[in-house]
Amino acid sequence: MKRTAALALFSAVLITAAPARADLCAVDHAPAATLLLPYFEVDLANPAGRTTLFSVNNAGDKSVLAHVVLWTDLAVPTLAFDVYLTGYDVQTINLRDIFTTGTLPRTADNERDPSDIYSPRGQFSFSDVSFPGCEGLPPQPLPASLADSLQRAHSGRPSSLFQNQCAGVDRNQPQVVRGYVTVDVVKRCTTLRPGDPGYFGADGVAGFDNVLWGDFFQVDPGGRFAQGDSLVRIEASPDRFGPGSRTFYGRYVQGSGADGREPLATAWASRYLNGGPFDGGTDLIAWRSVPWAGSSFPCGTRPAGFPQAQQELFAFDEEENVQLANQSFPGIPPPTVILTPFPGAANRVRIGGPDLPVPFDFGWLLLDLAPFVNAPPDPYAQGWVGQVSSAQGRFSVGFQSTHLGGLCAADRCPSGQPAAVGELCVGPTVAGQPAHFTVAPQGCFSSSCTQIVHAGCAVQHDGSDFRLDALVCLKTSNSGACTPDCSGGGTARCDTGALAPGTYTARLGTLALTFQVPSATGSCVTAP
Amino acid sequence: MRRLLLVWLLMLPVLAVVPRPSVAKTCAVDVVPAATLLLPYFEVDLKSPAGRTTLMSINNASDKAALAHVVLWTDLGVPTLAFDVYLTGYDIQTLNLRDVLAGRLPRTADSIRDPADTLSPQGDLSQDASFPGCAGLLPPAPLSAAMVEHLTRSHQGFSSPLLQGKCAAQALGDQVARGYVTVDVARQCSTLTPADPGYFGLDGVAGNDNVLWGDFFLIDPAGDVAQGENLVRIESDPARFAGRPTFYERYVGASGADGREPLPTVWDSRYLDGGAFTGGTDLIYWRDSRVRNQPFTCDHPPSWYPFPWEFERTVIFDEEEHPAVPSCQVLCPTLRSPFPAEAGRVAVGSASLPVPFQFGWLYLDMKTSAPAVAQPATQSWLGSIHTAQGAFSVGYEADPRDSGCTPETASPFFRQ
């Protein structure tokens, strides 16, 4: 153990850590309520072969429960288990351990681990706690038969998990398992998956604390390759996302926004290299939501909608010469041959390979993973893209691609139309209490002819100011007589945290509303 | 050449639908096109032509032509070189810092200086343009021998004749040139740097279009390891940042005239020294001294250097959350920070950053109370590199714990 004279354990004064900030609608590395490992693969034929490691970390001082779900590369969930994390805890997981020996991380909450054998806590970690429903912690190793079934499901073979149906792509590589992983903050232990009733909602299993962080490594010891990156962070804000919002788990909550999780982007830009120091070429790793139900299917068939195409796929070289791998335009017949390099939910594809035959050695790709023009519209379409460039037999690098376009832009109402902001108001304020904001749409909307699809608002601290983010989606009908009132536009509401006395400014788009704390009266600012 | 199964009939409609750069989502360290790119740390081993080097790319996310203004800075924040890279729409320009230090600059030119498109050809979806002030600067000529000497000496911490015999960097004595690079979208060619008057503002050199993206690789061919990551994207939103802290705040006062989002101040980073990663963990860092640094008499570095180690702002956790806090009880000496300069690389577990555990994570508040540094916050960027000795390595950005727009003012671990 290394130690220097300058190091000593310090008897720190414990205080409660503030919850991590939520910086919504950006693919950033802030702690989040959900982590996504976008793609994994484990070579089971070789104990020293390719594997995927990841860590689940708790950024807060309070204990949390992390619910880990393994999904096949066709988005069928196969296994769910819980990881108890004390404050500031780290749990690392090698997916090889799960698939080969059925070993799950052995953690347990206070009631199941009063002596802190499995989940010790540190000096800065808040009190150990217990969660309901966790009698199964620490988890026992999976039976060998279950581990075998998992292997079969994740390699595209018939699996007893699904009455000998299939759940993944059969690449004729029975010893290689593939898929992706989600990790959600939860309120209690459960075997439910995000697609199950009861997982989200007011009484649901899933929580909203943005406290999880972590990373992942794709390691190939034999090939002497490794790549690493942060797990994709998906922040939650149940106030910001509501009915009609596009969310990460939107398909599983039928667009209700009940998951409260920010969506990912559809448009991405990735560089590729096949030469120079990187003579091993470039692979893309792409996770994308799928338009089919996440259930098993008879082997030899495929889910309806598989393989997925994409709305746009441009290949540029470094002198901006461009080729279109596929394109779609209203009114123009689509190309007769459409590439589908990202057919499933978790994909890895070689740029320049048969699935993505780019004619250049160097350049970049522009992708839009929204559905192709002749595919049914998918209000939940989203994705994540990363790239891995390799030097043959020597080294490799991997990192997230660049996302283009907004994640939560106002034009993304899945139904209805986004309404322009008309008025921002703050109610009376009291020192030590939150300030309450309301946001009203601009215009007059008859209550009998207007359906409020979604009205959501979120507040972020911005120095001494507050920055509001609001989205109101309205669907109007002109059939029949509309009542002559203007109260149909609804309002979005959101609150700050507790405020000390002082002067503050709330900003929403071009609107700026300065207000006092305390104040017996509210105030408003109206769009011109 | 392999051929795609393609359709070539749709060029005109394509022009209308290629995605444009994203709308700025400021105050998050996210991977979107931006007005400024930061290569937070570079190193070039000058001992060996096949030794460590740093590659970077500058890409244009827009169909419109853009001008990228590249500035090299030493690890103590002194600018040494500025040059322009012209990018047609959707263009890519790669740079090997070894070439730049040897005087070989990327040869690009705008439309008026390259009418035949021999230097900066354009694709079918890309626009060409001309920019003011580029006569004599585009395409750039190879640097003079005197300039090459200046660069290689300055970035190793030696005196430079072009700096009147002064120094500009840490002298670590290992024949490795170090520093960092900024790339700003610009409205005109220039030899100015962000530290110069006239660089920002309504009539300034710097633009505000969030169109640049790119990546960088630290490559050690001899060691068979490489790491790659996105260049740090610093988005511009002049309206939002007027009068507020910004990335280039030290050069524009409190005006916010650069319009660039600031970087975070507090970071979390995992470290590993064992298992698959027997080579341990290095951290690469960039931090803001908040000082307009000048060349200095050698052996008399800027008064802020080295940054002091802010004990109370560092916590070392193992994987069972046992914390270790570097501290002393009385008569505490001022110790050198593990992150003493504006840019650098430090091994976790080394004498510079001792840790008592093999695995865990670090809480690092990169703000400083160095007397010469203006308060309250010093922005920063942190990346982690985990290595398996002689086999492989991975590198990626650490986890910002706060936002430069709302710096964490109180440690979650100690009462201030």
pLDDT digits (tens, 9 = 90+) for A143-201: 999 999 999 999 999 999 999 999 999 999 999 999 999 999 999 999 999 999 999 98
Is the confidence at residue A108, as pLDDT, over 80?
yes
Whether chain A has a CB inside 8 Å of the CB on B19: the answer is: yes
Using 50, 70 and 90 to split pLDDT, how confident is the model at B328? low
- Highest-pLDDT range among A237-241, A308-312, B213-217: B213-217
Is the confidence at residue A1, as pLDDT, over 50?
no
Whether chain B has a CB inside 8 Å of the CB on A123: the answer is: yes
Q: What is the pLDDT of residue B226?
A: 84
Whether chain A has a CB inside 8 Å of the CB on B127: the answer is: no
Is the confidence at residue B19, as pLDDT, over 80?
no
Residue B380, both tokens: 């920063």
How close B168 comes to chain A (CA, Å)?
30
- Write the CA distances from A198 to A252, B119, B325, integer angstroms: 11, 61, 43
Three-class DSSP labels, A289-305: CCCCCCCCECCCCCCCC
Q: What is the pLDDT of residue B415?
A: 47
Cβ–Cβ under 8 Å, residues B22 and A405 = yes
- Please count the residue pairs, one from chain A and one from chain B, whose beta carbons lie less than 8 angstroms apart: 310
Return the residue in B3, B23, B31 with the most chain A beta carbons within 10 A, the one to mutate for interface testing. Answer: B31
Angle CA B301–B262–B304, to nearest 5? 15
Chain B residues within 8 A of A325 when measuring between CB atoms? 4, 6
Q: Across the interface, do B398 and A316 touch by the CB < 8 Å criterion?
A: no
Using 50, 70 and 90 to split pLDDT, how confident is the model at A467? confident
Whether chain B has a CB inside 8 Å of the CB on A126: the answer is: no
Name the residue facing B221 among A122, A277, A357 (closest C-beta).
Answer: A277
| CA nearest to B241 within chain A | A462
**C-alpha dihedral (A286, B212, A465, A524), degrees to nearest 10:** -90
Rounded distance between C-alpha atoms, residue B404 and residue A185, angstroms: 26
Whether chain B has a CB inside 8 Å of the CB on A306: the answer is: no
ipTM value of the model? Answer: 0.86
Of residues B180 and A407, more confidence is placed in B180
Is the confidence at residue A462, as pLDDT, over 70?
no
Scored b (16 or more CB within 10 A) or e, A188-197 reads ebbebbbbee
Whether chain A has a CB inside 8 Å of the CB on B354: the answer is: yes
Cβ–Cβ under 8 Å, residues A162 and A152 = no
Rounded distance between C-alpha atoms, residue A105 and residue A83, angstroms: 7
- Write the CA distances from B347 to A69, A460, B112, B190, B353, integer angstroms: 35, 36, 49, 38, 7
Return the residue in B1, B7, B229 with the most chain A beta carbons within 10 A, the one to mutate for interface testing. Answer: B7
H or E stretch including B60?
strand B53-60
Whether chain B has a CB inside 8 Å of the CB on A18: the answer is: yes
Share of residues in chain A with pLDDT > 90 (%) = 53
Return the residue in A337, A397, A408 with the most chain B beta carbons within 10 A, the one to mutate for interface testing. Answer: A397
H or E stretch including A145?
helix A144-154
Q: Across the interface, do A277 and B402 touch by the CB < 8 Å criterion?
A: no
pLDDT in tens, A486-522: 888 888 887 887 788 999 988 887 788 999 999 999 9
How close B353 comes to chain A (CA, Å)?
10
Return the residue in A1, A4, A9, A10 with the most chain B beta carbons within 10 A, the one to mutate for interface testing. Answer: A10
Q: How far apart are the first and last CA of chain B?
A: 64
Of residues A113 and B393, more confidence is placed in A113
Residues 319-348 of A with CB under 8 A from B: 319-327, 329, 332, 335-337, 339
Whether chain A has a CB inside 8 Å of the CB on B219: the answer is: yes
Q: Across the interface, do A277 and B224 touch by the CB < 8 Å criterion?
A: no
Rounded distance between C-alpha atoms, residue A291 and residue A375, angstroms: 10
**Whole-prediction pTM value?**
0.85
Helix ranges, A9-143 (H): 95-101
3-state secondary structure of A131: coil
Residues 295-314 of B with CB under 8 A from A: none
